[in-house]
Chains A and B, each alone.
Chain A
Amino acid sequence: MSDYYNDEDLGRFGEIGKFKPDLFKKFMEWYNASLQPGNLSKKEKILIALGVAHAIQCPYCIDAFTKASLEEGMSLEHITEAVHVASAIRGGASLIHGIQAHNSVDRMSM
């Protein structure tokens, strides 16, 4: 499985558009538009993307948005801070479900 994710596959993303090209075109337009600076700066959007990439653990997104972060002048310090935010939210999301476990225990207990 070590070659399940291949580095060069990111450059083949366009091949998805061989089937249902209209849908792929819409996705690409939406994707590109969402990353354009608006009320949020390009730098902020890239940091969000980097955080999400780690939360969903997408190796392609991690590579792409790590490079994009460096190209926005950010360092490993910035990148690591963003990963901590994503991880903390993800960890917190698991931890808060402890309440569901507690509720469950309450429901079952005398």
Chain B
Amino acid sequence: MKFAERLKEERRYPLRAENVEILQVNLGYRCNMSCKHCHVQAGPARREMMDMKTVETVLNVLRRSNIATLDITGGAPELNPHFQYLVTKSKEIGRHIIIRSNLTIFFEDGMEDMPEFYRENEVEVIASLPYYLKDNVDRVRGRGTFHKSMNAIKKLNVLGYGRRDGLTLNLVYNPQGAFLPPEQCSIERDYRKELKEKYGVDFDKLYTFANMPIGRFSEFLRRSGNFEKYMDTLIDAFNPSTLDGIMCRHLISVGWNGKLYDCDFNQVAGIGLSDGNTENIADFDFERLAVREIAADDHCFGCTAGQGST
């Protein structure tokens, strides 16, 4: 495995967790969209969904640990029938809540009040917007997505998101193909200017993430003959200074079925924790997980390329 070899060269092998500050929960792979860059290959036909028993176990872990943040992802997490219950209960426990929203979900039947629900619970919204131009976004995420996204951001802005303290709206840039993301602050300036001038919308921060060579993006790489070249690009851009802040050292990922992983990407790749005794959220042992050895693989180069992607 090239990533392990690279860590050994840097004398950073094995990589270990520093803490568990974030519990990242995947509520299921069902989504109203089928984006080309989606690493979990989410879509309307997916049926995997976290059940109520597992949701209760997640809440119990939050109650009996001091994990500060619950990071809810999917698919479109809003499509899980227990989504609002998980959010409101986590809020009662006093945890900071992040929702990874695709924004277009607001325009699905029964989801119209979602922006108000977010505001009531002061959740931080992190939303995918791969570029600030319509054609680039629609090519990756489907026709009409850009306009829906702009309308969704306008709704959130009216409620105070991206404009008031405590109502955070962060956007995510993803490369629209087999290349690395630009420098975060530079592209953030372009987003802010273009989106304000053309659509009058505001946001807090822009994150730039590299595409992971797994899932639907991996299929694209192989189909287009770009897989080897993309891996070489990631490996050449390996930046050891990203290892301190890399997300797997600070979070635990919970799959829709309650299985634990070092990150969302390992979840998709089916790589469980290297600690074989702790496979499920029901076995959650904070002390042990906070210092666990990270199970790494070559897709990890996606998180360590350039400025890093976490």
Contact = CB atoms under 8 A, between A and B. Distances in A.
Interface in A57-110: 67, 70-73, 75-77
B179 A73 contact: no
B187 A73 contact: yes
Contacts, number: 26
The interface residues of chain A, by DSSP majority, are classed as: helix
Interface in A26-68: 43, 67
Contacts of B182: 71-73
A74 to B, nearest CB: 8
B136 interface: yes
Contacts of B190: 73
Contacts of B187: 73
A75 B132 CA distance: 10
SS of B interface (majority): loop
B8 to A, nearest CB: 25
Interface of B: 131, 133, 135-136, 173, 175-177, 179-183, 186-187, 190
Contacts of A71: 175, 179-182
B133 A43 contact: no
A92 B186 CA distance: 33
A75 B186 contact: no
7 contacts: A70-B175, A71-B180, A72-B186, A73-B182, A73-B187, A75-B131, A77-B133
B176 to A, nearest CB: 8
A70 B133 contact: no
Contacts of A43: 186
Contacts of A77: 133
A105 to B, nearest CB: 48
Pairs A-B, 3 closest by C-beta atoms = A73-B182, A73-B187, A70-B179
Contacts of B183: 72-73
Nearest to B233: A67
Question: Which residue, of A43, A70, A77, has the highest number of chain B Cβ atoms within 10 A?
Answer: A70
Nearest to A8: B229
A75 B133 contact: yes
A76 B136 CA distance: 9
Contact of B136 (A67, A72, A75): A75
A77 B182 CA distance: 16
Given A73-B186, A73-B190, A75-B136, 6 more contacts: A67-B179, A70-B175, A70-B179, A71-B179, A71-B181, A72-B186
A108 B185 CA distance: 62
A70 B176 CA distance: 9
B25 to A, nearest CB: 31
A17 to B, nearest CB: 18
Contacts of B181: 71, 73
Nearest to B173: A73
B186 A70 contact: no
A60 to B, nearest CB: 14
Contacts of B131: 75
